[in-house]
Amino acid sequence: MMNKLTQDMQGKVCVVTGAARGLGRAISERLAGAGAKRVYVCDINLAPAHAWLEQYPNITGVELDVCDPAALAQLSARIVADHGRVDVLVNNAGITRDALLDKMTASDWDLVLNVNLKGVFLVTQAMYSLMKVQMQGAIVTISSIVGTDGNIGQSNYAASKGGVIAMTKGWAKEFARGGAQIRANCIAPGFINTEMTRAVPEKVLEKMTARIPLGRLGEPRDIAEGVLFLASDRARYITGQVLKIDGGLVL
Ligand code: NAP
């Protein structure tokens, strides 16, 4: 339900990708609870969202594949028609297809890079075209500690998550030209309790948890709080940064 602790999103129009469940859901609920005028919850499969979307009068569900430029053009047109602007983009959609390098297929490489890297490029391009006109906006992209530190069996995923950090740093410079107040930042989660993590073998997860100084996996709301901060005007002088939220795992 709505979290009224802050009103940081008052009047803001937000877009969150991959938001039907997991981190995207928690992020969307947090933005909506912080007073967003509208949160567009975009996902390739909206089915898991039907039960919770209706609790929020300020959330709209949109079936959207981040790799589909035609669907993105439709989303932009809809947002312009409904609100004439977009204030916050959260690039959250992401997938894994893990395998050791000698077993990783080229199609698994392509699939992960396509959704996690090209998808972020395409969605940001679509939303930036609106932000550019306003000269204002905040983009938060969900990377991973794997994007800075690598991980066994995740060549494709690490490349995609490192790639979004590099793009974000470039965007921080590019999007601020001419005095524009358009900020771009990343969040790098550690191991968070979602379906994506539940795919990790139990033993690996136990070992990993033992290495986390704060002694537990993260919860989706731990990430949502970071996103809310970076998306809000409280972070108005922060751009091009990567905020790790990992319980101290990578120091
Ligand atoms: P999740 O539970 O697997 O949810 C991801 C959502 O994205 C799903 O609803 C999925 O739909 C959707 N999606 C997949 N491909 C899409 C596409 N092409 N277009 C639009 N939506 C698409 O994942 P999560 O754990 O919440 O992770 C969210 C983000 O955080 C990802 O970028 C992930 O890499 C990153 N991250 C997660 C962790 C973690 O520990 N969980 C750690 C570091 C980073 P389907 O239901 O159809 O698959």
Which pLDDT band holds residue 61 (cuts at 50, 70, 90)? Answer: very high
Q: Which of 17, 7, 54, 59 is nearest to 38 (CA)?
A: 59
Residue 232 belongs to a domain with what CATH number?
A: 3.40.50.720
User: Bridge-partner residues for 48, per DSSP?
Assistant: none
> Distance (Å, rounded) from C-alpha 175 to C-alpha 169?
10
> What is the reported pLDDT for 5?
63
Assigned domain for 250 exists: no
Burial of 34 (0-12, 13-18, 19+ CB in 10 A): buried
List Cα–Cα distances, 154 to 15, 98, 99, 150, 158, in angstroms: 28, 5, 6, 7, 6
Assigned domain for 77 exists: yes
Which pLDDT band holds residue 3 (cuts at 50, 70, 90)? Answer: low
Q: Tell me which residue has its CA closest to atom 27 in ligand 1.
A: 23
Residue pair 136/180 in contact by the 8 Å Cβ criterion: yes
Assigned domain for 81 exists: yes
- 56 noted as active-site residue: no
Assigned domain for 251 exists: no
> In this model, does residue 164 exceed pLDDT 90?
yes
Instruction: Report helix, strand or coil for 138.
Output: strand
Ligand 1 binding pocket includes 147 (Cβ within 6 Å): no
Sequence-distant (6+) residues with CB within 8 A of 159 are 113, 117
Please name the residue ranges forming H helices in 95-154: 106-113, 119-134, 146-149
Q: What is the mean pLDDT of residues 90-116?
A: 98
Cα 196 to middle of ligand 1, angstroms: 7
Threshold 0.75, pTM exceeds:
yes
Atom nearest to 189 CA in ligand 1: 43
Cα 239 to middle of ligand 1, angstroms: 24
> In this model, does residue 120 exceed pLDDT 70?
yes
Q: Which of 225, 249, 167, 233 is nearest to 23 (CA)?
A: 225
pLDDT tens digits along 69-78: 999 999 999 9
Cα 177 to middle of ligand 1, angstroms: 32
Residue 213 CA, chain-centre distance (Å), reads 25
Q: Tell me which residue has its CA closest to atom 2 in ligand 1.
A: 22
> What is the reported pLDDT for 4?
53
Average pLDDT, the chain: 96
Q: Could you tell me the residue range of the domain that residue 174 belongs to?
A: 4-245
- Number of separate domains in the chain: 1
> Distance (Å, rounded) from C-alpha 68 to C-alpha 122?
8
Q: Of 91, 95, 200, which is best to mutate to test ligand 1, by the most ligand atoms within 8 angstroms of its C-beta?
A: 95
> What is the reported pLDDT for 2?
47
> Distance (Å, rounded) from C-alpha 135 to C-alpha 123?
18
The percentage of the chain sitting over the pLDDT mark of 70, rounded to a whole number, equals 98
The two structure tokens encoding residue 70: 């035609």
Q: Of 116, 194, 208, which is best to mutate to test ligand 1, by the most ligand atoms within 8 angstroms of its C-beta?
A: 194
Q: What is the mean pLDDT of residues 89-104?
A: 98
> Distance (Å, rounded) from C-alpha 234 to C-alpha 232?
5
